[in-house]
């Protein structure tokens, strides 16, 4: 006898049953509508990349999480953990032909061998918005504004979420002022990003490992108490633009936002639910050196990644467990003799733009109406012998239970 295979997907991977697709579509529809409304152009790429492009600097968590393998020709390949290196590669490939600034968007499935916690899977879909080739802070404002717009399209308000913004450049200046040399900053950023996820004593140890003295460590923690961004021109400008654009109520300054990826160079941001129940909803920032790191021409860039996992948990918690809404018409018939009338009726309704679920064989009324309910149809038409004779069918509204008539 064949060995029984588990019906579960591999750990951390997800199946999407139709009821899950309702949520996914709601989220993706909002992503696409906001990207379109903010003038981003869609692009896509293959899920498999060369490992060389994705391999990371030591200390970056995402580097340890990469799914990688050798193909049959011994090429070292990997599943993308994020879209940004692929985007950089695509831009570098056509850097001479492209008209900058580019505003590109995609919804990319990404794979990370993560420790499984709430909001973290080993596969997720990530909406990306990137503006390549623009120094102006308006670029940061546009990507953050579009992401807030998407959350609002999903039914959330600025009471439900806040985008925490800071600047690595600003933090770097504060560290330099305290006498911490710039070559130590990358290590400091990686350590500080762990704040809240591990005790400060362990962070202090990481900072000392990175070459900081006890006095440096003390100065670093003091910097983390900074409450004002007035000394940071980019942040002053970002808050001012957000005021004009109407999303200033979604932003808060938070020096503790560092980001775990080392390629960020300027403004960085991360969005959280206000109640602090969930992991980050989206995150991003300015990354002006990534193109040069992979061998392209120096190009400024800013962007964000917005996963589907946390936001779907948040939507279910805030908006209730069901995203389903009744839609379309269920059409059924009692005996084989009414089949052709039902088929014609379905064709007519479909031609007028209705979504029609046509019963595939004769059904007893009880069975037909119970199926119409279970597929969440808004209306139902059940064709019986009398209806065919009279040339009139009844349309039942399944929400109000009201009936109207339609000539056939």
Contacts to ligand HAM from residues 213-272, by CB under 6 A: 261
Counting contacts by CB under 6 A, is residue 38 touching ligand HAM? no
Distance, CA of 351 to chain centre? 35
Query: Which tokens sit at 71?
Result: 């193909």
Q: What is the dihedral of CA 268, 84, 65, 30, to 10 degrees?
A: 80
Which of 126/166 has CB closer to ligand HAM? 126
What six digits make up the tokens of 158?
């600025």
Residue 283 binding ligand HAM, by CB under 6 A: yes
Report if residue 84 touches ligand HAM, rule: CB under 6 A. Answer: yes
Which residue, 388, 379, 328, 334, is CA-closest to 359?
Answer: 334
Per-residue x/- marks for ligand HAM, 63-82, CB under 6 A?
-------------------x
Segment interacting with ligand HAM, rule: CB under 6 A, options 180-188, 233-241, 303-311, 389-397:
303-311
Interface with ligand HAM by CB under 6 A: which range of 27-35, 235-243, 281-289, 316-324?
Answer: 281-289
DSSP readout, 106-142? EEEEEE--PPPBTTB-SEEEEEEEEEES--SHHHHHH
Judged by CB under 6 A, does residue 128 bind ligand HAM? Answer: yes
164 near ligand HAM, rule: CB under 6 A: no
Where does this chain touch ligand HAM (CB under 6 A) — which range of 153-161, 184-192, 279-287, 292-300?
A: 279-287
Q: Which of 269, 381, 400 is nearest to 333 (CA)?
A: 381
DSSP string, 312-344: HHHHHHHH-S------SEEEEESSGGGHHHHHH
| Of positions 26, 54, 114, 132, contacts ligand HAM by CB under 6 A | 114
SS3 at position 379: strand
User: Interface with ligand HAM by CB under 6 A: which range of 30-38, 147-155, 292-300, 305-313?
Assistant: 305-313
Please give the residues from 310 up to 339 whose contact with ligand HAM meets the rule CB under 6 A: 310
Q: How many residues does the chain have?
A: 408
User: Could you identify the residue written with the tokens 């994020």?
Assistant: 82
Residue closer to ligand HAM, measured from CB, 130 or 254? 130
Structure token digits, residue 185: 């900053």
Residue 210 or 284: the one with the smaller Cβ distance to ligand HAM is 284
Both structure tokens of 130:
């990137």
- C-alpha 93/C-alpha 46 separation (Å) is 15
Give the position of tokens 């130590």.
184
In the set 38, 170, 282, 333, which binds ligand HAM (CB under 6 A)? 282
Asked whether position 303 contacts ligand HAM by CB under 6 A, the answer is: yes
Give me the least distance between CB of 6 and ligand HAM, in Å please: 22
Tell me: does residue 193 bind ligand HAM (CB under 6 A).
no
Smaller CB separation from ligand HAM, 317 or 343: 317
Question: Could you tell me the smallest distance in angstroms from the CB atom of residue 169 to ligand HAM?
Answer: 16
Residue from the set 80, 112, 169, 379 that interacts with ligand HAM by CB under 6 A: 112
Nearest-angstrom CA–CA distance, 215 and 205: 13
Q: Which of 147, 175, 309, 393 binds ligand HAM (CB under 6 A)?
A: 309
Residue whose C-alpha is closest to residue 238's, from 227, 255, 251:
251
CA pair distance 141, 148, nearest whole angstrom: 10
**How many whole angstroms separate alpha carbon 259 and alpha carbon 285?**
9
Least CB distance to ligand HAM at residue 223 (A):
22
Q: What CA–CA distance (Å, rounded) separates 96 from 194? A: 39
Size of the site for ligand HAM (CB under 6 A): 24
CA terminus-to-terminus distance, the chain:
55
Choosing from 305, 315, 332, 382, the residue that interacts with ligand HAM (CB under 6 A) is 305
Phi first, then psi: give them for residue 355, nearest 5 degrees.
-90, 125
Identify the residue among 126, 137, 299, 312 touching ligand HAM (CB under 6 A): 126
Which residues of this chain interact with ligand HAM, rule CB under 6 A? 82, 84, 112, 114, 120-121, 124, 126, 128, 130, 261, 280-284, 287, 303-307, 309-310
């Amino acid at each position: 006898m064949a060995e029984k295979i588990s019906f579960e997907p591999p750990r951390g991977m997800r199946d999407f049953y139709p009821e899950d697709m309702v949520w996914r579509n709601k989220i993706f529809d909002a992503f696409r509508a906001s990207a379109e409304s903010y003038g981003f152009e869609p692009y896509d790429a293959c899920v498999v990349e060369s490992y060389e492009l994705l391999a990371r600097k030591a200390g970056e968590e995402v580097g340890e999480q990469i799914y990688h393998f050798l193909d049959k020709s011994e090429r070292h390949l990997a599943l993308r953990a994020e879209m940004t290196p692929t985007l950089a590669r695509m831009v570098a490939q056509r850097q001479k032909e492209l008209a900058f600034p580019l505003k590109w968007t995609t919804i990319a499935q990404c794979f990370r061998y993560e420790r499984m916690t709430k909001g973290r899977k080993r596969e997720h879909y990530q909406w990306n918005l990137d503006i390549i080739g623009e120094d102006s802070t308006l670029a940061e404002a546009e990507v953050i504004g579009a992401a807030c717009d998407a959350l609002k399209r999903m039914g959330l308000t600025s009471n439900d979420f806040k985008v925490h913004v800071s600047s690595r450049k600003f933090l770097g200046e504060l560290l330099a002022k305290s006498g911490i040399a710039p070559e130590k900053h990358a290590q400091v950023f990686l350590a500080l990003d762990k704040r809240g996820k591990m005790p400060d004593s362990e962070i202090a140890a990481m900072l000392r490992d990175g070459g900081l003295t006890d006095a440096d460590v003390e100065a670093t923690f003091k910097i983390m108490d900074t409450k004002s961004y007035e000394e940071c021109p980019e942040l002053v400008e970002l808050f001012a633009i957000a005021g004009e654009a109407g999303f200033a109520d979604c932003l808060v300054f938070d020096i503790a936002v560092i980001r775990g990826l080392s390629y960020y160079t300027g403004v960085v941001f991360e969005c959280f639910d206000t109640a602090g129940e969930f992991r980050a909803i989206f995150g991003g920032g300015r990354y002006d050196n990534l193109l040069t790191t992979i061998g392209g021409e120096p190009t400024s860039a800013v962007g964000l990644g917005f996963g589907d996992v946390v936001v779907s948990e948040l939507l279910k918690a805030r908006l209730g467990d069901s995203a389903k809404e009744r839609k379309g018409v269920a059409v059924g018939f009692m005996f084989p003799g009414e089949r052709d009338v039902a088929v014609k009726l379905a064709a007519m309704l479909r031609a007028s733009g209705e979504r029609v679920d046509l019963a595939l064989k004769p059904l007893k009324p009880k069975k037909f109406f119970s199926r119409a309910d279970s597929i969440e149809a808004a209306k139902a038409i059940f064709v019986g012998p009398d209806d065919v004779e009279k040339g009139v069918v009844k349309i039942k509204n399944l929400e109000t239970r009201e009936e109207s008539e339609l000539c056939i």
